[in-house]
Amino acid sequence: MSGTPASERLAPASGRPAPDPGGRRLPRTLHPVAWWIWALALATAVSRTNNPLLLLLVLAVLGYVITARRTEAPWARGFKYYLYLALTVVAIRVIFRAVFATGITPHDHFLFSLPRVPTPDWYAGIQIGGPVSLEAVLSAATDGLRLACMLCCVGAANTLANPKRALRVLPGALYELGVAVTVSLSVAPQLVQSVQRVSRARRLRAGHHKGPRALRGIAVPVLEDALERSLRLAAAMDSRGYGRAGSATPRSRRLTGALMLLGMCGLCAGAYGLLDATAPKPLGLPALAAGSLLCVVGLRLGGRRITRTTYRPDPWRFAEWAVAGCGVLSAVLLFSNAGYDPAELNPSIYPLTWPALPLVPAAAILLAGAAGILAPPPAPPTYPVPAQRTEEPE
The whole-angstrom separation of Cα 344 and Cα 361 is 9
Give the tens place of pLDDT for each residue, 209-230. 666 666 666 777 777 777 777 6
* Shared-domain flag, residues 253 and 355: no
pLDDT band at 96 (very low <50, low <70, confident <90, very high): confident
* Shared-domain flag, residues 254 and 356: no
Higher pLDDT, 390 or 73: 73
CB atoms within 10 A of CB 100: 12
Any domain includes 182: no
Higher pLDDT, 337 or 145: 145
* Shared-domain flag, residues 337 and 364: yes
Is residue 57 scored above 90 in pLDDT?
yes
**Considering Cα of 307, then 312, then 318, then 319, what sign does the dihedral take?**
negative
* Shared-domain flag, residues 63 and 147: yes
* Shared-domain flag, residues 328 and 296: no
* Residue 383, strand partner residues: 11
* Lowest mean pLDDT segment, chosen from 16-30, 54-68, 149-163, 328-342: 16-30
In total, how many domains does the chain have? 2
Give the tens place of pLDDT for each residue, 368-389. 999 989 988 887 655 444 555 5
pLDDT band at 286 (very low <50, low <70, confident <90, very high): confident
Any domain includes 184: no
Any domain includes 224: no
* Shared-domain flag, residues 326 and 293: no
Is residue 93 scored above 80 in pLDDT?
yes
* Shared-domain flag, residues 283 and 362: no
- Contact (CB, 8 A) for 86 and 151: yes
Any domain includes 10: no
Any domain includes 220: no
* Shared-domain flag, residues 155 and 46: yes
Any domain includes 266: yes
pLDDT band at 62 (very low <50, low <70, confident <90, very high): very high
Q: What is the pLDDT of residue 132?
A: 78
Coil/strand/helix, residue 222: helix
- Residues with Cβ within 8 Å of 360's Cβ and at least 6 positions away in sequence, in order, are 333, 338, 339, 340
* Lowest mean pLDDT segment, chosen from 224-228, 303-307, 320-324, 341-345: 303-307
| pTM of the model as a whole | 0.67
Any domain includes 54: yes
* Shared-domain flag, residues 276 and 325: no
CA 92 to chain centre: 21
Higher pLDDT, 383 or 271: 271
Give the tens place of pLDDT for each residue, 336-378. 877 777 788 888 777 777 888 888 889 999 999 999 899 888 8
- Residues with Cβ within 8 Å of 104's Cβ and at least 6 positions away in sequence, in order, are 110, 131, 132, 133, 135, 136
What is the domain range of residue 341?
24-169+317-383
Is residue 1 scored above 50 in pLDDT?
no
Biggest distance spanned by C-alpha atoms of the chain? 103
- Contact (CB, 8 A) for 295 and 270: no
Any domain includes 376: yes
Nearest to 171 by CA among 262, 292, 304, 265: 304
